[in-house]
Structure 1
Amino acid sequence: MRSHSMRLIVLLAATSPAVSVLAPTKSACDVLRSQLRGRETASCALGATQVSVRVLDIVSPLQVPHGKKVPCLTLTNIHVERAARRKGHARKTLHALRTVAAGSGRALLVENVVSQKMHALVRDLGGQPLFGCRAGAKGCTYWLPDESRRTWKEMTVER
């Protein structure tokens, strides 16, 4: 699944172990089932935006209590072509990913942020640095709370 000429954004329904890719258009959502079944990573290019995500569970004792985990959808890479930048592509993609992550009971993480514009965007969307990371520092990983504003502790489930 290299490139598709869809108009808007990528939604990744993060239901481990299968990851489904949905590409909304103005008229309807087209479901694109692909070779992602059984995998926990996905990369997709839609128009000018390229996105890579992975599904994981955080089990570190620094992040969650013993015997618990936080299921996550992690944005590992987002790239918007130079000619299409500053038009809201990254913001729309983060909103969509946050909605899908929340709908599947997962936290959305934005991993390894280095761009100052991306740091500002994530903070503008209410992103909080993951424990052990410093906001604004290169390589920071952020957690984007969903619209219900559940806390990190409320996201934990039994292993």
Structure 2
Amino acid sequence: MKYLKFKVFALFLALTTLTGCLSDDENYCSQTIYPFVSNVTGPETALTGEEIVLNVSFPIVSNCATFVGFQQNNVFPRNIYPAVQYEGCQCSGTTSTQTEEYTFSADEPGEYELKFANGTTEDNSQYTYITKTITVSDPD
């Protein structure tokens, strides 16, 4: 079911990108998309002040895509979304998976919940998430 949702999302993203390319207006051929995350890997523990890196994978469509960073709220649980900029009116429509590094650190010990959107519920009323809980402790 998740694979089917991924395929449907990739097709939707390709169609919206390519549809935008039919306009003569150059500004219409530029947009930022927040794709759903397909995988998150990395450590689940850290020391206070230590930076850890999580590898975040998500689909991109076409040769017009450029990863621009992660969007997130500043409270916990933290919701995190990759941001991909699509530029140009002559896009290939090829889908591939891109993996980028998300860096996390905390100055206080505790458990920190990071939520990466990876789809929506069947009725599209809510996001579903890949949740990573990072336990941060003081060094001994």
TM-score after normalising by structure 2:
0.27
The structure whose RCO (Cα within 8 Å, separation 6+) is larger is 2
- Which has more strand, going by share of residues? 2
Structure with higher Rg: it is: 2
TM-score after normalising by structure 1:
0.25
